[in-house]
Amino acid sequence: MTHDHPAATDRAAPRPFGRLLTAMVTPFTADGSLDLDGAARLAAYLVDEQGNDALVVNGTTGESPTTSDAEKERLVRVVVEAVGGRAQVVAGVGTNDTRHTIELAGAAEKAGAHGLLVVTPYYSKPPQAGLFGHFTAVADATGLPVMLYDIPHRSGVPIATETLCRLAEHERIVAAKDAKGDLTATSWVTSRTDLAFYSGEDALTLPALAIGCVGLVGTSTHLTGALTKQMIEAYERGDQVTALALHRQLLPLFTGIFRTQGTILVKAALAAHGLPAGPVRPPLVDATEAEVAQLRADCADAGLELPS
């Protein structure tokens, strides 16, 4: 089955993946195996109830460090089948091994993904020339649009402004997930390129929009998606009062979802709502009762209920 998403391949598209993307958790069954039915149901909930324009599967929030290549491919296929006709599916394929990343990119493309999220190679700290070569090799090896993922506090290395500007010249590198937390650096790139920048930090979405970002790849948006999209749309239509009010309302969850670790608390919240989630895989550990109680308080502060 193929899906025609012209915006995803249009170099001039201002927001190739829409306004709101959620980095989806990967549901597991009680014994820790992949819950494909649950993944389909969760994807439908995120698109139909929370208003996501696209979903990222196999990202860090999706526990990509502890899922196998075969599980990653099956997950892409199932999510594309579930929601691919009404939302884009962006596959996380980034590793710290260029050859392996290219293999994952090929598998995701065959499985029907509409785009790729490629994180900075982590731990090994390659120089900027290595980052440029890595991202270029991946983009050369695929027919899909690529979103770079700049998250130096996890990867150990930032993608420098000059490197981002050079990478933006590649016809398939169309977007960046920006979790650098440096709005000045982001401003330079958005002013010098046509890369579509998506905030990679929920709480910085509103200020990021002010300097040229076009949306969010979120984690708390498993819960806050509909209201976060309202915030983005309010800002875009010039209603900054509403946008700021929503930012302030959602701030307790924009930040609170990361108190312990994003995946852990999202799965706890989904379980409380009776949505597919299941346990996390080691070395992550499931949320404690105290952590869930704090999450419930954060939800209440954001005007959202977390069932007991």
Binding-site residues, please? Answer: 61, 217
Judge whether 178 and 198 are in contact, CB under 8 Å: yes
- My answer on whether omega of the bond before 283 falls inside 30° of 0, hence cis, is yes
Q: Which residues are annotated as a binding site for pyruvate?
A: 61, 217
171: its two tokens = 């016809």
231: its two tokens = 């915030």
Residue 55's beta-bridge partner residues? 22, 89
For 48-87, the DSSP string reads HTT--SEEEESSTTTTGGGS-HHHHHHHHHHHHHHHTTTS
User: Which residues, 6 or more positions from 271, have their beta carbon under 8 angstroms from its beta carbon?
Assistant: 277, 278
Number of neighbours of residue 255 by Cβ within 10 angstroms: 14
Judge whether 83 and 44 are in contact, CB under 8 Å: yes
| Residues forming the active site | 149, 177
Report helix, strand or coil for 243: helix
User: Which residues, 6 or more positions from 288, have their beta carbon under 8 angstroms from its beta carbon?
Assistant: none
